[in-house]
Structure 1
Amino acid sequence: MSDLTVRRRRADAERSVAAILDAAAKLLSERPHASMEEVARAAGLTRQTVYAHFPSRDALIGALTDRATDRVAAALEGADLDTGPAGEALLRLVQLSWDTFDAEPFLLATPGPHTDPETDRRRHRTVFDVLGEVVERGQRTGEFDPELPPGWIVAATAALGHAAGDDVRAGRLTSAQAGTYLQATLRRLFTR
């Protein structure tokens, strides 16, 4: 097989994966329990093609979640969270993370993939690392309560974020309300 043929097949596969992910993100936002066959139809591909790239629905949702995580990581790199008051940086970080739910509504609409705890930690690591740096800076400057362990603040922030997502998923709050309440709650909890 020639190098050109291999490159073409690789490019075709990449286009198929992108089409599947884009179609799945849109479809699952509207219909969280859509089948793999429906995803294939929405992507304009065969069911076999979808299964060739994603052997299960969990694998597909995991890939969508990884793509959203990569987008958050890229946004965090450009967010300049090392400057200005740490309290403001914390709120910007939370807003950037919450904006992902608006850009990727399937995250709130679709039950997450069934994964092991290590996969969940890996997906959250970038956000947690940046959040931990902001928290430690805020404690050094006196903006955040220094008596609270930084890991506790990170864990509590994540838990509140997940609770906000659960309320949106259950229809008790809109995404905008949840984001606003989350920021207000964090502002009150950890600042002095």
Structure 2
Amino acid sequence: MTSFPARNRRADARRSRAAILDAAVQLLNARPDASVEAIATAAGVTRQTVYAHFPSREHLLGAVLDRVTEEAVAAMDAADPDAGPAAVALLRVLDASSRAAGRHRVLLQKIGSLPVSPEQDRDRHAPVVDRLRRVIRRGQETGEFDGGLALDWLVAVTIRLGHAAGEEVDAGRMSERDAATALHTSLLRVLGAGRAAASPDQPAAESGSTSPVGSATAKTTRLSR
């Protein structure tokens, strides 16, 4: 039987880990080069406690990226990807993810430049890809999207277009609004849906940030940056 002290220690560890991640997300988005010591201070713990949870700065940054990705996935789920026409749902899900990622734009640009194995990147962003795949598959099944193209190809194109939108904004060549409009229009054309698929109350131009895909995926799902 597990003792109360042991359970309390685990609960304390979970709270301190959460506090560290909360502080890291907030601080690194304002100061991408903030030190581990500064993060520890912001979290109200010691530097040693941070390293007890995260053996290196790289481990901490990886956990921060996981946290931001989880936020993007939660936003995608909250956008109700299974409701309404697939084309409208897809744009709604992308915009929701984009808004979530847009809250951590500086942080994602910094972490997105760090080396990561293809396996790690794929595993981290699998939930984002899964949600895109689900909506696009539904659109193919209902005839809204081109059923003659492979599902994985359309998912990959969606991600690449998200990358492109984010890169154009980061480079200062497009505003967030223009990049969102270009992303929506291009994506619907590729999917075979056409611009008319967007609903009147969800115009393509109204996107919170770059793209969902542009962030939730920092690299392959640097789906936004």
The two structures have a TM-score, normalised by structure 1, of: 0.83
Trace 1:108-147 onto structure 2 (pairs within 5 A): 108-112=108-112, 113-147=114-148
Which of the pair is proportionally richer in helix?
Answer: 1
Gaps of 5+ in 2: 194-225
1:5-25 Cα deviation digits (max 9, x unpaired): 223322222221122111111
Identity rate, percent = 51
Q: Are residues 108 and 174 of structure 1, via their aligned partners in 2, closer, same or farther at CA, if it must alter by over 3 Å?
A: farther
Trace 1:85-96 onto structure 2 (pairs within 5 A): 85-96=85-96
Residue pair 2:75, 2:100 contacting (<8 A) in 1 also: no
Which segments of structure 1 move beyond 6 Å, counting only runs of 4 or more? none
In the alignment, the residues of structure 1 paired with residue 190 and residue 76 of structure 2 have an alpha-carbon distance, to the nearest angstrom, of 23
In the alignment, the residues of structure 2 paired with residue 167 and residue 108 of structure 1 have an alpha-carbon distance, to the nearest angstrom, of 15
Question: Partner residue of 2:82?
Answer: 82
Residue pair 1:108, 1:168 contacting (<8 A) in 2 also: no
Gaps of 5+ in 1: none
Question: Partner residue of 1:64?
Answer: 64
In the alignment, the residues of structure 2 paired with residue 172 and residue 42 of structure 1 have an alpha-carbon distance, to the nearest angstrom, of 36
Q: Which amino acid aligns with 2:136?
A: V
Residue 139 of structure 2 is aligned to residue 162 of structure 1: no
Residue pair 1:157, 1:186 contacting (<8 A) in 2 also: yes
Residue pair 2:65, 2:111 contacting (<8 A) in 1 also: no
How big is the alpha-carbon RMSD for the aligned residues of Structure 1 and Structure 2?
2.5
Q: Deviation of residue 102 (structure 1)? A: 2.5
Q: Are residues 109 and 28 of structure 1, via their aligned partners in 2, closer, same or farther at CA, if it must alter by over 3 Å?
A: farther
1:74-130 Cα deviation digits (max 9, x unpaired): 333443322321111110121122122134345434223532212211222122122
Q: Are residues 165 and 37 of structure 1, via their aligned partners in 2, closer, same or farther at CA, if it must alter by over 3 Å?
A: farther
Q: Which amino acid aligns with 1:67?
A: R
In the alignment, the residues of structure 1 paired with residue 46 and residue 147 of structure 2 have an alpha-carbon distance, to the nearest angstrom, of 56
1:16-74 Cα deviation digits (max 9, x unpaired): 11221111111111122222222223223222111111112221121122222323333
Q: Are residues 38 and 72 of structure 1, via their aligned partners in 2, closer, same or farther at CA, if it must alter by over 3 Å?
A: same
In the alignment, the residues of structure 2 paired with residue 18 and residue 168 of structure 1 have an alpha-carbon distance, to the nearest angstrom, of 32
Q: Which amino acid aligns with 2:3?
A: D
Q: Are residues 6 and 171 of structure 1, via their aligned partners in 2, closer, same or farther at CA, if it must alter by over 3 Å?
A: farther
Q: Which amino acid aligns with 1:96?
A: A
Q: How many residues align?
A: 191
Residue pair 1:164, 1:182 contacting (<8 A) in 2 also: yes
